[in-house]
Amino acid sequence: MSEYFLAIVNPAAGGGRCGQLADAALKRLRHDAGVELEVARTTRAGEAIGIVRKAYGAGVRNFLSVGGDGTAYEIVNGLFPEALQGARVALGFLPLGTGNSFLKDFTTRGVEHTIEALRNRTRCAVDVIRLRHANGDLYFINLLSLGFPADVGALANRRFKRFGQLGYIFGVFTKLVGLKHSAFPHRVNASGEWDRRACLFLTFSNSKFTGGNMMIAPKADAADGQIEYVRWSPVGRARLLWTLPRLFTGTHIDHPLASRAAATKIDFELEGPVDVMIDGEILRLDCRSLEILPSALDVIA
């Protein structure tokens, strides 16, 4: 008996690439993996959240993200928090967007891997991170960043989005010109003193990669029940430029200015909303806390 999946397709993902490739990829899933698919195509940002929430309420438990990190992010926020109380939900990926960062922890084979995993009904339980902010809760499976990565992401979205992953690099070099360091008061695991020091950035990761191929949290494990916390102290332009290639190998955390820790809870004491990059999306939020939801989601991988 074939499994039933609702595929959420974001035609705009990958600069329109997803819209061009999605139908052929879905046809292969039906034929080669033997799954029954219903397809919903989004027309605007945020629409997938409502589509998924309605489908979950109607009893659908298997979903397929056809797009990039932003598509998966919307699906996750359509599933939670309701999925914490009900039957297990599963999420598969057709990585046809720009970043597709989360899936890189499991494979680089893209559609081929998904077909194989669906055919074999391979699933693994992964953690979800809940962000509480001044106006509600959000959920993510990749990472949340404050500081330089979020500032770069906000600029790239405004000015360089049409260039895809290359646009993020353009944003990096633009932000280097006006490099700044900010403080984001926080504490780890609800113990110890608040860290009010200025920094280049803070990241809170569930998986290793961001921006496609940057391994910003090389020690992260999406199934270990921990948030991987990485902090970079203030750094000059020349040293930051020299260090950038190490973000793609994960060796940047060996630098004396970097520090990391594993956590289950992060508290914030911000003065107000700040730019936040969360699973590739740029939002302006007054963050209050992060907490890990262990093994809350099954992924097809």
| Model confidence pLDDT, tens digit, residues 235-275 | 999 999 898 889 889 999 999 999 999 999 999 999 999 99
Of 73, 74, 68, the residue nearest 49 (C-alpha): 74
| Per-residue pLDDT at 2 | 62
- Angle of helix 47-57 relative to helix 69-79, nearest 10 degrees, comes to 40
Is the domain of 94 the same as that of 146?
Answer: no
Is the domain of 116 the same as that of 151?
Answer: no
Is the domain of 150 the same as that of 105?
Answer: no
**CA 129 – CA 235 distance, rounded (Å):** 29
129 lies in some domain: no
Is the domain of 168 the same as that of 215?
Answer: yes
Q: Which domain holds residue 161?
A: 139-294
The alpha-carbon radius of gyration of the chain (Å, integer) is 19
97 lies in some domain: yes
48 lies in some domain: yes
22 lies in some domain: yes
Is the domain of 175 the same as that of 243?
Answer: yes
Is the domain of 115 the same as that of 152?
Answer: no
300 lies in some domain: no
- For the segment 130-139, the average pLDDT, to the nearest whole number, is 98
- Dump pLDDT digits (tens) for 198-211: 999 999 999 999 87
- 266-293: b (≥16 Cβ within 10 Å) or e: bbbebeeebbbbbbbbbbebebbbbbbb
End-of-domain residue from the set 93, 121, 149: 121
Is the domain of 195 the same as that of 105?
Answer: no
132 lies in some domain: no
% pLDDT > 70, the chain: 99
Q: Where are the beta strands (DSSP E) in 134-173?
A: 136-140, 143-147
- For the segment 37-59, the average pLDDT, to the nearest whole number, is 96
End-of-domain residue from the set 121, 154, 177: 121
| Per-residue pLDDT at 164 | 67
- Dump pLDDT digits (tens) for 102-126: 888 887 777 788 888 888 888 999 9
43 lies in some domain: yes
Is the domain of 147 the same as that of 288?
Answer: yes
End-of-domain residue from the set 88, 121, 154: 121
In Å, the largest CA–CA distance within the chain is 59
| Per-residue pLDDT at 1 | 46
Give the chain's domain count: 2
CATH of the domain at 230: 2.60.200.40
Please provide the average confidence, as pLDDT, over all residues in the chain.
Answer: 91
Is the domain of 286 the same as that of 173?
Answer: yes
- Give the SS3 label for residue 10: coil
Higher-scoring residue by pLDDT: 51, 162: 51
> How far does Cα 128 stand from its chain's mean position?
10
**CA 69 – CA 295 distance, rounded (Å):** 19
